[in-house]
Structure 1
Amino acid sequence: MTLTKNEIIEAIIKETGYPKRRGGEIMETLLEIIKEDLGSGNDLLISGFGKFSVKAKDERRGRNPATGEDLTLRSRRVVAFQCSAKLREKING
């Protein structure tokens, strides 16, 4: 099952007792902070959860799977996630 943004907002409301509007504002603010930080090329570390980092990918050769046509994939930046030991332990029991 996938956890949606609305479900996270509902959990914030349940835990804090804030009204739904305030829970939504908290969620949106948090996501904006994360997007701005990663968009600037900075890493984001959330203790006990994991680290989001921006990695550079070089231009490379690729192939369109539908047509088989060769093409060049442009260089780009991607977000990578490495979970913390605590999260890994929780996931694996």
Structure 2
Amino acid sequence: MNKAQLIEAMANKAGLTKADAKKALDAFIETTSEALKGEDRVALIGFGSFSVSTREARTGRNPQTGKPIDIPAKKVIKFKAGSELADSVQ
């Protein structure tokens, strides 16, 4: 499902226009992004939670040459599914 399909599905389920559903989805994405930039955790009970963690610097290997390369530390976004979401997929 891509963004346009998600907007259409949200509009149908919530009885909104596609324009209103797009505004709602864009607001959710923007608000979640801002919270994660501030290293806050975003938890939606039953659905899941988004958080930021730091991946440590490490040494990897170039697959073509086999030479070691340094991979710098970076922040990554993690998503942990909530129990209701996980159960609905089963």
Match of 2:83?
Answer: 85
Cα offset, 1:18, TM superposition: 2.2
Superposition pairs of residues 1-93 of structure 1, within 5 angstroms: 3-92=1-90
Counterparts of 2:65 and 2:4, CA distance in 1: 39
CA offsets, 1:33-92, max 9 Å, x none?
Answer: 111111111111011011111111111101122332311111111111111122222122
Residues 88, 19 of structure 1: CA spacing in aligned structure 2 closer, same or farther, 3 A cutoff? closer
Stretch moving more, 60-69 or 4-13? 60-69
Dislocated runs of 4+, deviation >3 Å: none
Counterparts of 1:71 and 1:55, CA distance in 2: 22
What SS does structure 2 have at the residue aligned with 1:79? strand
Q: Structure 2 counterpart of 1:63, which letter?
A: R
The count of residues paired between Structure 1 and Structure 2 equals 90
The runs of 5 or more residues in structure 2 that have no matched partner are: none
Tell me the percent identity.
28
The runs of 5 or more residues in structure 1 that have no matched partner are: none
What SS does structure 2 have at the residue aligned with 1:68? coil
Cα offset, 1:21, TM superposition: 1.7
Q: Give TM-score, length-normalised by structure 2.
A: 0.88
When the two chains are superposed, the root-mean-square deviation of aligned CA atoms in Å is 1.3
